[in-house]
Amino acid sequence: MQMWKTRHILLGMLTWVPILNAWRQRHASTGGSDSARYCYSVWFRHLITLNRYGFNVSGANIGELGPGDSLGIGLSALLSGASRYVGLDIVPYSAKADLSKMLNELLDMYTKEAQVPDDKEFPSVRPLIDSCEFPRHVVDGGNVIAKAEEIRAQLRSGLDRGFLLGYRVPWMSLPQIDESSLDLIFSQAVLEHVDSLEETYRAMFAWLKPGGYSSHVIDFRAHGRSPFWNGHRAYSDRQWKLVRGKREFLLNREPLSTHLTLAKKAGFELLLTQRDQAPHGLDASALALRFSKLSETDALTSGVLLVLQKPKSAQALSN
């Protein structure tokens, strides 16, 4: 066994010690969406890209899978003209967030028409965009101050009440959201963590209105479990179970082709696949057997943006 695996297997095993696991859960965060600049950057990157495929944020009903440390990306979506947002997660990371502070910081950037934070500030944030100028052409021209006031009113009355902003944690099944009710469901660095990928693609498809969009940045890298970008695929399934331990999620280790197959099986049309070419990693011979025969595209894709659309002709699924 490669030496670097041992540390990660041991750390995973420690999560079975109740006191250590409780400490881990108390201190866990996802890193990223606790920063308003990150949220502003991620939202505009999705919105600018989606706009090229005909998505209009004005009045849109939007869902996000796995918002993480805050609902700041959703707040950005509301400020840019969406009429509703719901975040669906399996761990309530955002419950600790100061959403009023986040809103104020985002509003400040909006009213100043601040540039979208670029690749120097967030080198690994995707999707890449051609220009970081404030994208006036993609946002609703409505009154952003009045919108922020409506959001504040809802933050005061609680996320479980009100129309604008929702947070479902843990979400576990399709009926969490009405079928054919969303114009967009998106995620940032989430689908590589989801255990039940097939059900998740099916649920996202069902939640969307015909013609609705789905936009996902997926990071296929090892997330610190190996010094090599593809080293997570070097663990056998048994070793990987030990690495995960009692963590609520880790990595499903599925390659790009699995996502494309499941999205298609759910009924989606593929509008865009924007791949990141992998840096040098472990050779196929060093990977676990089931990853050693990946296609060249899967083996060399370290990240992707997928833009999907529910066909305009699609019927609502019935459970």
Ligand X SMILES: C[S@@+](CC[C@H](N)C(=O)[O-])C[C@H]1O[C@@H](n2cnc3c(N)ncnc32)[C@H](O)[C@@H]1O
Q: CB nearer to ligand X: give 5 or 126.
A: 126
Q: CB nearer to ligand X: give 65 or 294.
A: 65
Report, in Å, the least distance between residue 28 CB and ligand X.
9
Q: CB nearer to ligand X: give 80 or 188.
A: 188
141/125 Cα distance (integer angstroms): 27
Report, in Å, the least distance between residue 66 CB and ligand X.
3
What's 225's DSSP letter?
Answer: S
Report, in Å, the least distance between residue 93 CB and ligand X.
5
Q: Site residues (CB under 6 A) for ligand X?
A: 30, 32-33, 42, 65-68, 88-91, 93, 188-190, 193-194, 249
Report, in Å, the least distance between residue 90 CB and ligand X.
4
Question: 225 with 243: CB under 8 angstroms?
Answer: yes
Q: CB nearer to ligand X: give 98 or 283.
A: 98
Q: CB nearer to ligand X: give 197 or 299.
A: 197
Report, in Å, the least distance between residue 176 CB and ligand X.
10
Helix (H, G, I), strand (E, B) or coil at 297: helix
Report, in Å, the least distance between residue 1 CB and ligand X.
27
310 burial type by CB count under 10 A (0-12 exposed, 13-18 middle, 19+ buried) = buried
Nearest in space to 202 (alpha carbons), one of 271, 261, 265 = 265
175/317 Cα distance (integer angstroms): 11
Per-residue tokens: 127: 């999707």
Does the bond joining 279 to the residue before it have cis omega, within 30 degrees of 0?
no
Q: CB nearer to ligand X: give 111 or 124.
A: 124
Q: CB nearer to ligand X: give 90 or 305.
A: 90
Q: CB nearer to ligand X: give 8 or 221.
A: 221
139/144 Cα distance (integer angstroms): 10
CA atoms within 13 A on the CB side of 115: 10
Tell me which H or E stretch contains 39.
helix 36-51
Report, in Å, the least distance between residue 146 CB and ligand X.
28
| Range 136-156 burial, b when 16+ CB lie within 10 A, else e | eebbbeeebeebbeebeebbe
157/151 Cα distance (integer angstroms): 10
104/84 Cα distance (integer angstroms): 18
56/50 Cα distance (integer angstroms): 8
Report, in Å, the least distance between residue 137 CB and ligand X.
25
Tell me which H or E stretch contains 185.
strand 182-188
